[in-house]
Structure 1
Amino acid sequence: MKEFRVDQNLKELTEHRTVELPIACYETTINQNINGYIPLHWHDEFQFVVLVKGEAVFQINEENIAVREGEGLFINSGRLHSATNQDDSDCVYICLNVSPSFMLSQELFSTYVNPYIQATNLPYLSLSPNENWAENILGAIISINQLLRKKSLYYEIDISSQLTIIWKNLMKNGFQLKYEQTEIIKNQRMKQMLNWIHQHYHKKILLDDIARAGQLSRSECCRYFQRTLKKTPLNYVTDYRIQKSLVLLQQPESTVTDVAYQVGFNSTSYFIDKFRKSMNMTPLAYKKNKTSI
């Protein structure tokens, strides 16, 4: 089981690069994550996805996008996203993360790359093999994955060429970029509230505290969470506490009561009830299962 690590701002802590290049390409099996899904996070890198098995649902900012085998996604820099299996399909996908500055040369970056990063109406693009421009991108992602595995002579140059193909075809899609200040502010406030929760989840948290972190009223705060996460702020706090408890429960010396209080629950029975509803087992059963492996 792999732990998916993010910092207090939900920024992923994985370093997306090889020794030589500011990129990372790997196969991800969603249900092998410690949570059973890829939790909400963001990173500066562009992310390109190709599903090689099963189906998945990606949440990107406020939208849920179903992606089937052979299809893919472009996820823009800095956008909140997560992934879950669709109908227990044991989804596997190739994930390519690329530093935006590496997509094109420095001379071309400000003209052809940065406008896409700054666009407020481009959190993602769906990549369908039925569209010629998208099919070219999907093929290039697979080629980069193979190049990184083989590491033949001059493979770095070949990867750079494939990235140019990817970006040129993405621009050929003809997407009209927009820049709205209200969207920028909304995204900033959402991250501020999530950041505050991740700093204080182990303490008592009130709705007023979360709203204050986002400089919003209580009602607006609730609307933000419902729109982006499809749940209330306090339900998100509970889910996040359970997520944080998973690693602690795998420590041999830990007890269910200790873990409950470490992650912010003030009642062991309440923790057990919420954990069972979220994970379909009790914390003790989860602990026994993981520590016996």
Structure 2
Amino acid sequence: MNQMLEPKPKFEEKSYIFHYRRETLEGGFEQIHAHQGIEFLYVHEGSGHLMFDQKLHPVGPGTLFMCQPYQLHKFKLDITPSCPYIRSIFIFDPSLFERYMATFPALHMFFNKLWKAELQQQVLQLEPIQQTLFAELLFDLHRNLNTCPELQQTEEVVLFLFSLLREFRKLTAGEPSSHSSSDSMRTNSRHVEQMMAWINEHFSEEFSLDRLAESLHLSPYYASHLFSRETGCTLSQYVMAHRIRESRLLLSTTDLTIAQIGQQIGFKSSAYFVKSFKSKMGITPQAYRKQVNTLYVD
């Protein structure tokens, strides 16, 4: 009698990305972007803020950020030679790692919560003892991946992920604490958050700075200047980033045509959508859809 065997889990080349203590010593900032996978980012050094979930969050040494698939985010750091931006980044495809969680019910449940549920807290400021723990956890993975045989790297990454999830579960077990700031800074942040919320609601329509400013009782010039100053990008760039983010989600999860997706997210023509997508992503929407579908096939 033939026994049907479940195929062994594949560890695809693109199933995770790990950068240990990546440095930016001066110059430009990252564009607004979203990942297909789950991202954990830990700040070793740097000072600035994170634009995420329609809010501005302060960023400094010990900031830990967890981002779900396709969530838009952008870091804006005050980078100088004496104050560099140093961070460690771990991004992984949850669909390819879920199978490793199956034998740990509680951890599996938490894993799925991080992947798919609406979360209360995704930006944390760690205490010194917690900073030491996370720094050691990241260094261990960096060292192990550089010294162990290639066949053992799968095991090292999975064990690291187990430890990471356990620690993050402890950190998010309580209620999140709110950050304090001056009245003027908080007012500016509130205006920027309101602008992001307005765009998130109206991104599929033709963008109008006048309409946005009027809805918030601000002058168009002030709204545009404030958003650029606080986030490091223009309102138009944020609108485009949000549309590209939505298109990636639709390309990955629906069978809508390229033209239908372009129209649904606010592009006047499919040609302009394809051109804009390729400019931001480096490949066409059709190629991106094919790439994603290939990645999820066993």
Q: TM-score, normalised by structure 1?
A: 0.51
Out of 45, 60, 64, the residue aligned to residue 67 of structure 1 is 60
- Provide closer, same or farther for how the CA distance between residues 82 and 171 of structure 1 changes in structure 2, counting only shifts above 3 A: same
**1:82, distance to aligned residue in structure 2 (A):** 1.2
Partner of 1:114: 112
What is the rounded CA distance, in whole Å, between the counterparts of 2:170 and 2:143 in structure 1?
A: 25
**Does structure 1 retain, via aligned residues, the 8 Å contact 2:24–2:79?**
no
Counterpart-to-counterpart distance in 1, 2:143 and 2:200: 35
Identify unmatched segments of 5+ residues in structure 2: 1-10, 177-194, 241-298
Letter of the 1:83 counterpart: F
Cross-structure match for 1:97: 91
Cα deviations across residues 196-221 of structure 1 (Å, max 9, x unaligned)? 67xxxxxxx5337x76xxxxx95169
1:154 is matched with 152
Question: Partner of 1:142: helix, strand, or coil?
Answer: helix
Output aligned runs, 1:74-85, within 5 Å.
Answer: 74-77=65-68, 78-85=70-77
Say which structure, 1 or 2, has more relative contact order (CA 8 Å, 6+ apart).
2
Q: Distance in 2 between matches of 1:114 and 1:86?
A: 35
Distance 1:221 1:105 in 2: 49
Cα deviation 1:109-168 (Å, max 9, x = unaligned): 76222223413422322334423xx54344222322333333435121122111101101
Pair 1:57–1:125, CA change in 2 (3 A): same
Aligned partner of 2:209 in structure 1 is 207
User: Within 2, Cα distance between the matches of 1:139 and 1:191?
Assistant: 38
TM-score by structure 2 length?
Answer: 0.50
* Equivalent residue number for residue 231 of structure 1: 227
Change (3 A) 1:24 1:87: closer
- Aligned identity (percent) is 12
Aligned position for 1:274:
none
CA distance in 1, matches of 2:24, 2:77: 7
Q: Which aligned pairs between 1:1-293 and structure 2 lie closer than 5 A? A: 19-20=12-13, 22-27=15-20, 28-30=22-24, 36-61=28-53, 62-68=55-61, 71-77=62-68, 78-88=70-80, 89-101=83-95, 102=97, 105-106=101-102, 108=105, 111-117=109-115, 118-131=117-130, 135-152=132-149, 154-176=152-174, 190-191=199-200, 193=202, 205-207=207-209, 219=215, 231=227, 236-237=235-236
Q: Is contact 2:33-2:72 (8 Å) kept?
A: yes
Q: Aligned equivalents of 2:59 and 2:147: distance in 1?
A: 31
1:207 maps to amino acid: L
Number of residue pairs the alignment of both structures matches: 195
Against the structure 1 CA distance between its residues 38 and 195, is the aligned structure 2 distance closer, same or farther, given a 3 Å change threshold?
A: farther
One-letter amino acid of the structure 1 residue matched with residue 58 of structure 2: I
Matched AA of 1:149: N
Distance 1:125 1:141, change over 3 A: same
